[in-house]
Amino acid sequence: MALSHVMHCPECGAANRIPDDKQGVSGRCGACKARLPALYTKPLVLDDTAFDPFVSSYRLPVLAEFWAPW
Ligand SMILES: [Zn+2]
């Protein structure tokens, strides 16, 4: 059985099964057809130009880890 995740629709609350290989792909709720936010289950590496646009537009909680080479 392939790994999958469950995302609750932000509009109607229905549980939607998201296959693990669909990371970063937006889908639609199976019940109400509302657009579901893309699900990220693995870390994304974002540089200083990509961080703000991603965080400000993403509708789910974001866990950020900051680091520097020095
Ligand atoms: Zn829905």
Whole-number pLDDT of residue 41? 85
Whole-number pLDDT of residue 2? 82
| Ligand 1 centroid to residue 21 C-alpha, Å | 21
| pTM of the predicted model over 0.95 | no
Once rounded to an integer, what is the mean pLDDT over residues 4-12?
Answer: 94
CB 54 within 8 A of CB 46: yes
CATH architecture of 4-57: Single Sheet (2.20)
CB 18 within 8 A of CB 27: yes
pLDDT one-digit tens code per residue, 36-60: 999 998 899 999 899 999 999 988 8
Q: Is the pLDDT of residue 5 over 90?
A: yes
| Ligand 1 centroid to residue 63 C-alpha, Å | 24
| Ligand 1 centroid to residue 40 C-alpha, Å | 19
Whole-number pLDDT of residue 53? 95
Once rounded to an integer, what is the mean pLDDT over residues 4-26?
Answer: 93
Backbone region of residue 68 per phi and psi (left: phi > 0; alpha: psi in -120 to 50; beta: other values): beta
